[in-house]
Each structure stands twice: as structure tokens, then as C-alpha cells.
Amino acid sequence: MLYKNNDANFIAFRVVLVFRAVILYALEKLRKMVYTVKTTESDQGPCKEVKSGSIWKEFVISFIASIPFFTHGVETTILSTSAHAGHFITSPDDEPWNATAMLIAAGISAPVYCYVIDKFGRKIGIFIISLMQGASLVPLFLPPKDINMLILHIFAGISSGGLFTVLPIYVREISSTNIRGVTISLMMVMTTAGYLMKLVTGVETLMYSMTALLIVQFVLMVVMVESPSYLVMVGKMESATEAISKLRCLSYENPALSNEVIHLRDERDRVRANGKLSLLQILRNRIWWDATKIGFVLYTIHVICGSIVFLDQDKVLLQLKMDMDPEKVLVVASLCGGSLLCLSMVKFIDRKYLLTFGYAIMVLSMGVLGVYTQTELTVRSLHWLPVVALGVLVIGYGLAWGLPIIIMVEMYNFEIRAKLLGLLYTYSQIIKLAHIHSFKYIEEYMGIYTVFYLFACINLFAGVYTLFGIPNIKDKSVKQIERQLKRVPILKL
């Protein structure tokens, strides 16, 4: 009996020793893991200590940088075209020369802006955008002649070419990884909030409001910080450290700041190892070419998703034979509501799932509106259904319209970001130009209800493509995103 007790005690003693050894081994591994995260750079990007800094200043500067979007939204209510393929005020065939001039000016100016911000800095690009918005005010105070309106649209196009390239780049580069989705998506809310101004004031008041906004933009540029990524790109390491210190509200001596600068420098060197970064050389890189193909698909779908029809509220609800809303309150409010929905969800849901959700909403709503827009149909009941469907459709579009820009600005390394976003934006303006000039012939031939079904099919493809063809973006570094890229977009060119 005594021997049995001794054997049992010995076995228990061995079990305790083994358990103790396992615990010590696990603790040692954990200690090494924590030490590695805090002291070395990994694929996650900057070390944890940088993220412990305050982010309030990043939000404030991002908001200040997004004010030109609000100014643009206010100005759009005076123009005969918008940043979308359609317009919530006029039909696409109204004043075609104005729309053409604006699109051409935007497409030409975007690569110029991108060259300027790579050469002279992101803040210079923002200053030029505000300058062009100020120049577009001049024709508004002149007699309402055709030539003055044409000049207005040209200046508005030149400023738009920088708005949707330079500002997303700047906001992305000054924002921490965990908040960059929110800060970049401010452009959607600010733009649509500018559209709402048409509901509360007249044209003359809008003109003076734009003047006041531009003065505010120029004054607030004093508090803006140059992008740390650009400073590293031009070799100004000390200035980059100082910029990060101001953005994160950390002391200049904090060692985490130098770690983040080293991370940016490593990213710069990794890209420059591919040789001279000309546009042709960049597109020869398979990973960057695959990312750019994703951009081509997303920007194309954004143009031909059907906004040229459903933003025209009168045309969509024509069959209801009811009093029309001259202010287009439904469309404008729904567009702003969708943008606010995106802003509230982008922090928690990956970009591709949000975009897929937006396209799914649009597909279902377009199916309903396709029935209610048949020429021979007289609507005798359920008058509320197409109205609700249009509101839901525009909310889905409001949720999705800025996400292609957000996705692409997060996918590219800062060394090539400006060049490729300029290329994609110019491409989108060419597609939009062809779309607005050819759509009226397609509509006449097929009928508006058939067009709705066609756009529903396009958005269905877009939802499937977005779900399976786009990498996860949220809280990922550029290197992590590049590792997910596969040769999935349409053609393996």
C-alpha cells in the first residue's frame, strides 16, 4: 500500500513538473512575441507604441482637409453636372458642352496634380485645389452668359481633378491605420452635405457661402501638417519624425516615432528596388498591375452603375403621375444618408463587404423600379413602393460611391500612389464622357425599364466581383494587402 502511494505521489510530481515546464515555455514565447512587436518592424506596420498616441489631431486635420469637398458639393448645386455620372438637378443631356468641358478639364488636371504633389508636396496640391475653387467663383459673379458658365465648369473640373486624387492621398497618409477608413470617407459625407445646402438657401447665398468657405480653407491650411510619407519619399527623415510627432501628439524623443519613420523608409526602399518608377515600369510589376486592374473595374462600375438614371428623380417616378418634387429632396437626402451610413460602418466592416452590401441594395431596388418604369404601365396602387425603392437605391449608392477611391488609395504604396490614382481618375473621366454622350441613344433604343434591368445586372456582377476579387483592406498594411492579391480581375493581361 505504501509503494502504491509513493508511485502515485511520484506520478503527480512528474505531472506538476511537466505542467510547470509547459507554462514557463508558453510565458517565454509570449514574452518574446511581445518584445518583438514592440521593438521590431513587422508586416503589421508601425509599432504598438505609435498607436498609443492621441488621434484627435489626425481627425481634426482630416476634417480640415475635407472642407474643399463641402465647397465642391455646394458648387455642384449650381453646375449642370456632378462628380457622379448623373445629376440630381439636371438631366445628362442638358447643357452637354458644359459637362464635356468639366470632364475633360478634370481628366487632364488629375495627372498634373499627382505630378505636383510627388514633386513639391501634398500641401501644395491642396493649396492649388483651393485656388482653383476660388477661380471658379469669378464667373458666378459675372453676367449669366454661356461663355461664363463654360469657364465656370472648366475651373470646377480642374479643381475636381485634384479633389478626388490629392485629398484622399493626403488624408490617408496622415491617418493611423485604425482610423484611416473613417477619415478618408469624410469626403463622401462632406460632399453630400454640400448638396443639402440647395435645400436651405438660394443661389446668391450659395455663392457667398462658397466665398466664406474658401477663406476658411486658406486660413486653416496654416495648421495642416505635411504628409510624413512624402517627407520620407524626398529623404527628409527629421521632418517626417516631427510631422508624426505633431499628428500623434507624442514627444519628439519618443523612440516609437523613429520606428515608424524607419518603417516608411523600408517601404520606400522596397519599392525603389524595382528600378526607376516610371508609369510603364510600375505597370510591369505584376502585383501593382493586378491592383490597377482592380481599380479599372471598380472605377468603370462606379460610372456605369446607373446613377445617370436614378439620380434623375423626375424620370424615375414619371409613371406615378404625381406632383414632382422640384428640390429633389428624396434623392439628395438619401444620398447624404447613405454616405453617413458608410462613415458609421467603415470602422467596423471591411471595405469590400460594405461595397458588396451597397451593390446588393442597388440590385434589389433596381429590380423593383424596373417594373414601375414600364412605359405602358399605369400605377393604380402601392404608389409608395417605387418611392421607397428609389430612396433605398440612392442610399445604397450613397454607401458605395466613394469606396472605390478609398480602396485604391489604401492599396498602393506611397511611392506609386499618386501616379496610379491619377491614371485611374483620368480613365474614369474618359469612361464617364463616353457614357453621358451615348446613354440617351441607349435609353431611346431599349427603354428606361430595360435599362434598369441592365444596370441591375452590372451591379450584380459588381457585387460578386467585389466580394471575391478584392483583398481585405481594413487595418492592413500595404505589404499585407499585396500578399493577398491574386490575378483575378477579368483578363490576365
Domain boundaries, the chain: 1-39, 48-484
Taking 60 as the threshold, does the pLDDT of residue 24 lie above it?
no
What's the one-letter identity of residue 170? Y
Which CA distances in Å does 177 have to 81, 163, 273, 291, 384? 35, 22, 25, 20, 43
Taking 70 as the threshold, does the pLDDT of residue 44 lie above it?
no
Torsion of CA 279, 283, 285, 290, to 10 degrees: 140
What is the biggest distance separating any 2 CA atoms in the chain, rounded to whole angstroms?
Answer: 113
Band (pLDDT 50/70/90 cuts) for residue 20 is low
Residue 489 has a CB neighbour count (10 Å cut-off) of 21
Comparing 17-26, 41-50, 189-198, 260-269, which segment has the lowest mean pLDDT?
41-50
pLDDT score for 26: 46
The mean pLDDT of 35-63, rounded to a whole number, is 57
Comparing 336-350, 393-407, 438-452, which segment has the lowest mean pLDDT?
438-452
pLDDT score for 205: 85
Please choose, from the candidates 278, 467, 459, the residue with its C-alpha nearest in 3D space to the C-alpha of residue 360: 459
By percentage, how much of the chain surpasses pLDDT 90? 52
435 backbone dihedrals φ, ψ, rounded to 5°: -65, -50
The mean pLDDT of 33-37, rounded to a whole number, is 34
Q: Is 112 exposed, middle or buried (0-12, 13-18, 19+ CB in 10 A)?
A: middle
Q: Note if the pTM is more than 0.75.
A: yes
Residue 27 has a CB neighbour count (10 Å cut-off) of 10
pLDDT score for 27: 44
Residue where the block lists cell 489604401: 410
Distance CA 231, CA 260 (A): 13
The mean pLDDT of 460-475, rounded to a whole number, is 93
Comparing 7-21, 330-344, 354-368, 478-492, which segment has the lowest mean pLDDT?
7-21
The mean pLDDT of 186-212, rounded to a whole number, is 89
Distance CA 29, CA 34 (A): 9
Higher pLDDT, 97 or 442: 442
Which residues lie below 8 Å from residue 241, measured CB to CB, with a gap of 6+?
252, 257, 258, 261
pLDDT score for 273: 87
Which CA distances in Å does 426 have to 43, 115, 354? 32, 13, 25
For 408-474, give the DSSP string.
Answer: HHHHS-TTTHHHHHHHHHHHHHHHHHHHHHHHHHHHHHH-HHHHHHHHHHHHHHHHHHHHHHS---T
pLDDT score for 199: 84
Q: Is 353 exposed, middle or buried (0-12, 13-18, 19+ CB in 10 A)?
A: middle
Please, are residues 184 and 172 in contact by the beta-carbon 8 Å criterion? yes
The mean pLDDT of 144-173, rounded to a whole number, is 93
Please, are residues 70 and 213 in contact by the beta-carbon 8 Å criterion? yes
Distance CA 404, CA 406 (A): 5
H/E element, 271: helix 255-272
Higher pLDDT, 275 or 70: 70
pLDDT digits (tens, 9 = 90+) for 386-434: 889 999 999 999 999 999 999 999 999 999 999 999 999 999 999 999 9
CA-angle at 366, arms to 361 and 367, nearest 5°: 105
Band (pLDDT 50/70/90 cuts) for residue 379 is low
What number does CATH give the domain 48-484? 1.20.1250.20
Q: Is 68 helix (H, G, I), strand (E, B) or coil?
A: helix
Distance CA 324, CA 27 (A): 70
pLDDT score for 491: 46
pLDDT score for 447: 82
Residue 441 has a CB neighbour count (10 Å cut-off) of 9
C-alpha cell of residue 255? 523612440
pLDDT score for 365: 93
Distance CA 392, CA 467 (A): 21
Please, are residues 458 and 304 in contact by the beta-carbon 8 Å criterion? yes
Taking 90 as the threshold, does the pLDDT of residue 54 lie above it?
no
Q: If you ran DSSP here, which 8-state letter would residue 193 be given?
A: H
Taking 60 as the threshold, does the pLDDT of residue 15 lie above it?
no
